[in-house]
Structure 1
Amino acid sequence: MNSTVALTGILAVGLALVHVVAGQLQVLRSTLRSRWLSFSSGVSVAYVFVHILPDLGSAQATIQQGGINPQLEFLEHHVYLLALVGLAIFYGLERAAKTSRKQSQKDSGDDVTSPGVFWLHIGSFAFYNALIGYLLVHREVPGFANLIFFTIAMALHFFVNDYGLQEHHKHMYEQSGRWILVSAILAGWSVGNSTQISQAAIASLFSFLAGGIMLNVLKEELPEERESRFWAFAIGAFGYSILLLAL
């Protein structure tokens, strides 16, 4: 095992452990938890706007130069569509979860999603986590600093996702969902170490990831009932932006 594989492996385990310990945030006071989640959201958004989105322009050129399946030629000029697809998919998943919870409250008084929506949600987030694990190995911009900044941003992003999933699925998430997401990260990292893909494909995956991150952050920050903290969000966003720009 070379040093790069070992390093990304350690980071993958670290990301997986976020889902293991994230549940501990539930015991913190509501105000402290809200500040921490808003700070984490700010860091995630900063990574998207300062690092991922600026790279999408060059990613489009990469896709054009790398060549893609003839049936997908339209993506040569619309790489941002993949970010939109990521955002739309996770918006649809969020709406499905909220609708299911409302129906459950109406039918039985339980504020929890149905088993079918739970598995749809967890399956989608398992793919999302596996994608992040995969991109630990295959990043669009190589280098140690970029790897560390990516890992930090994704770790804090996982805290935000974990909170939302716990709220939607309650005991189902505690019993099985969390552990599926833990396994997905490690599986993505493992696949990344055993496969090679083109730079065009990597650019496409990062585009999809950017859309997913944006939706998953904003759905936690914007609703009034979330009790988000603007200053914590701003400190995370601007502080991490400064660090990224210093690269």
Structure 2
Amino acid sequence: MYIWLSFICAIGFALIHFFSKSMRFADKVPRSKFLSFSAGVAVSYVFVMLLPELKDYQQVLSKELENSPWQYLENHIYIIALVGLVLFYSLERLVKASQKDSQFENTSSGVFWIHMSSFFVYNAIIGYLLVQEEFTTFFGLLFYFIALGVHFVTNDWSLRRDHKQIYDQYGRILLTAAILLGWLLGVLTEVNELVLSILQAFIAGGIILNVLKEELPQEQESSIGSFLIGSFGYAFLLLFV
């Protein structure tokens, strides 16, 4: 039963990417209330669920490494999350530098494919974790889907802004396929707790960077009311449902 629920979530994520070019509300300034609401949901997910989970992943990693030379290095999982954050930040800086060098504010073809490759891996891991993550309840899976679903909406908006028409031609198709490929790999393969914890921490770093970069609404592009409703409303659901 659970495997089919995870498949439905994977299809949902894939549809968000595939039909993202039709979400024209994301191009409005001031930023639409929906995007500000989704920003609040994503930020709430990071601070209420994602950061506390890193502590659990650290315990798993410490247990797996207790007989290895790496046991003397503390906070392994947070270092891995930091690597994920720094990697995606570096890619964003590369994109901005490419746009600055272009008179048309477009990124170069090479930068586009590097950027898409990183998000392809990012999406594939998320699709993989849909199967491999141990959700204790149906609501745990549902809240995970909601948080990452609205996160993907904002990611698509950001990538389209950076890469223009080439994202609609190729990027959204790649990210659609990545989610489904990751889910399929999750069904066909299984990794130990050590690798799973590393994947979780790496993705956590990437999500944190992407949330802080795009989903904390700027003053001129936000609806503060929608943002507060999204953040506190979703936090309430996570804590009490």
Task: Trace 1:1-247 onto structure 2 (pairs within 5 A).
Answer: 3-26=1-24, 30-31=28-29, 33-67=31-65, 70=68, 73=71, 77-105=75-103, 110-221=104-215, 224=218, 227-247=221-241
User: Which amino acid in 1 is paired with 2:87?
Assistant: I
Q: Please give the alpha-carbon distance, in whole angstroms, between the structure 1 residues aligned to 2:26 and 2:88.
A: 27
User: Which amino acid in 2 is paired with 1:244?
Assistant: L
Q: Deviations over 1:68-94 (max 9, x none)?
A: 894755666331112211111111111
Cα deviation, residue 202, structure 1: 2.2
Q: TM-score, normalised by structure 2?
A: 0.91
Q: TM-score, normalised by structure 1?
A: 0.89
What secondary structure does 1:113 align onto? coil
Q: Please give the alpha-carbon distance, in whole angstroms, between the structure 2 residues aligned to 1:68 and 1:186.
A: 35
Residue 30 of structure 2 contacts residue 220 of structure 2 at CA under 8 Å; is this kept in 1? Answer: no
What secondary structure does 1:196 align onto? coil
Q: Deviations over 1:164-188 (max 9, x none)?
A: 0000111110101110000000000
Q: Please give the alpha-carbon distance, in whole angstroms, between the structure 2 residues aligned to 1:226 and 1:167.
A: 17
User: Which amino acid in 2 is paired with 1:142?
Assistant: T
Q: Deviations over 1:132-152 (max 9, x none)?
A: 101100115433221111111
Structure 1 unmatched ranges of 5 or more: none
Aligned residues: 241
Residue 220 of structure 1 contacts residue 226 of structure 1 at CA under 8 Å; is this kept in 2? Answer: no
Change (3 A) 1:74 1:23: farther
Change (3 A) 1:187 1:60: same
What secondary structure does 2:19 align onto? helix
User: Quick one: percent identity of the two aligned structures?
Assistant: 47
Q: Deviations over 1:213-238 (max 9, x none)?
A: 12112212458587133322221111
User: Which amino acid in 2 is paired with 1:194?
Assistant: L
What secondary structure does 1:142 align onto? coil
What secondary structure does 1:79 align onto? helix
Cα deviation, residue 204, structure 1: 2.2
Q: Please give the alpha-carbon distance, in whole angstroms, between the structure 2 residues aligned to 1:134 and 1:209.
A: 11
What secondary structure does 1:241 align onto? helix
User: Which amino acid in 2 is paired with 1:245?
Assistant: L
Q: Please give the alpha-carbon distance, in whole angstroms, between the structure 1 residues aligned to 2:32 and 2:220.
A: 8
What secondary structure does 2:6 align onto? helix
Q: Please give the alpha-carbon distance, in whole angstroms, between the structure 1 residues aligned to 2:160 and 2:180.
A: 21
Q: Please give the alpha-carbon distance, in whole angstroms, between the structure 2 residues aligned to 1:38 and 1:12.
A: 24
Relative to structure 2, which stretch is displaced further, 17-26 or 175-184? 17-26
Relative to structure 2, which stretch is displaced further, 121-130 or 216-225? 216-225
Change (3 A) 1:224 1:234: closer
Residue 140 of structure 1 contacts residue 199 of structure 1 at CA under 8 Å; is this kept in 2? Answer: no
Name the Cα RMSD after superposition: 2.2
